[in-house]
A = this chain, B = another copy of it.
Amino acid sequence: MAQAIERVATVRPVSEEEATGRVAEIFADIKRTKGLERVPNFWRVLATHPEHLDMIWSRLKTLMHPDAVGRQSPLDARTREIIALAVSAANGCTYCINSHTTALRKLGVDTETLGEILAIVALFCTTNALADAYQVQPDVLPPLD
């Protein structure tokens, strides 16, 4: 009765071997910046539209790898990855949950801490739903700087 699902990229990912020009440069930059031996599937799929690959990678590099662009971030690497996982979990994105869980483990986050992060994510999915469902009005807010 149960059948294996088939899930495919809707485009054929660009392999590292066939990449040339700007795509090849970005592939090299991704591996160097992230310390990876292979280019993740996400970037290989985006490479079917090189200009878009460039836009997304440069933005992600700036925000998630500030050192690589000589920039100071007010957030440390672990906090940045925790935000990435929290958003991916709230949005239910399988690929990104896998990817950022892996990144957090590389940063030394253990199963208990992962559980604590996801417990807080799940708690606020509940309170978000309740605040919306009851249409709770904002409390008085502090002045803005």
A residues with CB within 8 A of B: 1-13, 38, 40-42, 45-46, 48-49, 51-52, 55-56, 59-60, 62-64, 71, 73-75, 79-80, 82-84, 86-99, 101-102, 105-106, 110-145
Distance of A115 Cα from B144 Cα, bound (Å): 13
Give which listed residue, B55, B59, B86, B144, contacts A12 with CB less than 8 A: B144
Most-contacted residue by chain B among A75, A88, A131, A133 (CB, 10 A):
A133
Q: Which residues of B contact A118 (CB under 8 A)?
A: 49, 52, 129-130, 133-134
A87–chain B nearest beta-carbon distance, Å: 4
A18–chain B nearest beta-carbon distance, Å: 14
Q: How many copies does the complex hold?
A: 6
Q: Which residues of B contact A42 (CB under 8 A)?
A: 127, 130-131, 136
By the criterion CB–CB under 8 Å, are B127 and A60 in contact? yes
By the criterion CB–CB under 8 Å, are B124 and A84 in contact? yes
By the criterion CB–CB under 8 Å, are B64 and A120 in contact? yes
Give which listed residue, B88, B117, B128, B137, contacts A83 with CB less than 8 A: B117
